[in-house]
Amino acid sequence: MKEKKMNIAITGATSGIGEQALKSLIHDFEQIFILARNEKKANDIIQEFSKEDQKKCIFIYIDLADMDSVVKAAEKISSKTDHLDVLINNAGGIFKEKEITKDGFEMSLSANHLGHYLLTNKLLPLLLKSKVSKVIHVSSEAHRMGNVNFNDLNYDKRSFSSFGFYANVKLFNILFSKSLVEKFGSEGLKSYALHPGVVKTNFGQETAGAFSFLWKLASPFMITAEQGAQTTIYLAKNKIDDKHNGAYFKKSKPVTPSRSANSKSMRDKLWNKSSELLEKWM
């Protein structure tokens, strides 16, 4: 019987910790779907690999702020494989000013949560076909500052705060991760969220006000993107004890997230609200 090829898909692999994770994981998988907006940047990275590893890489265009493109990306992956073993929801960011996408969603909500929520749900049939499937969500310790109003996810009724938006969506990453285990863990799906560390990237340039100032002060003490990718790499490559399915990881070890992140009520509200907002594409 022919051995099954191990497949992985990763968003945001053209820079930062996503790029470092890709470069480390290239040797551990037979097929790698690189989901990003910038095909040239993706191809430049692929060209750094050996000829053998280049053949493993498949670029898939995706814009997490454009739900039509998310659906097309999932369809493209589905046309190229009948299973998916690992999905790394890595892309995201913090945005200096409030911006509404063409689909009517606040940019941070779309790029950090809704896009990945839709992508993951569209890829669930492939993930559930694999007996070792994992979904890995890059969250942040910023989730501990989350203050969610499920009736105002676009912040239409509150003043804009780039860090406040970011804290909420990083909380959503953990809640979504736990919901996946709750709903599909019995079918073999594993799901984890993680804090990569405070990584020195261009992240702080996208903030404003006091947070931007504090970010610049902390800059000399930050870790590299390569160091920040280590927990992602660990979760993707290693078999994790079943008792930690749905856990939140920091420095490759499970840690306790905020009370909100463990809230059954909040994860149910988030799942239902996300499905409602994305009904057109689900």
The string of pLDDT tens digits covering residues 94-107 is 888 889 999 999 99
**10-24 mean pLDDT:** 94
* pLDDT at site 161: 80
Active site residue 117: no
**47-73 mean pLDDT:** 96
To 10 degrees, the CA torsion angle through 63, 67, 69, 70? 80
**Distance (Å, whole) CA 79 – CA 93:** 29
Q: Say if residue 272 is exposed, middle or buried (CB neighbours under 10 Å; 0-12, 13-18, 19+).
A: exposed
**Phi, psi (rounded to 5 degrees) for 180:** -60, -40
* pLDDT at site 5: 77
* pLDDT at site 4: 60
pLDDT digits 0-9 by tens, 30-56: 999 999 999 999 999 999 999 999 999
pLDDT digits 0-9 by tens, 147-184: 999 998 988 877 778 888 899 999 999 999 999 999 99
In whole numbers, what is the pLDDT of the chain averaged over residues?
Answer: 90
**Distance (Å, whole) CA 130 – CA 139:** 24
Residue pair 69/45 in contact by the 8 Å Cβ criterion: no
Residue 226: which of 21, 15, 9 has the closest Cα? 21
**Phi, psi (rounded to 5 degrees) for 138:** -85, 105
Place of tokens 């499970």: 254
Angle among Cα 54, 58, 61 to the nearest 5 degrees reads: 135
Catalytic residue, candidates 61, 117, 155, 166 = 166
Separation of first and last alpha carbons in the chain: 36
To the nearest 10 degrees (0 to 180), the angle between helices 162-184 and 209-218 is 80
Residue pair 77/7 in contact by the 8 Å Cβ criterion: no
**Distance (Å, whole) CA 140 – CA 265:** 21
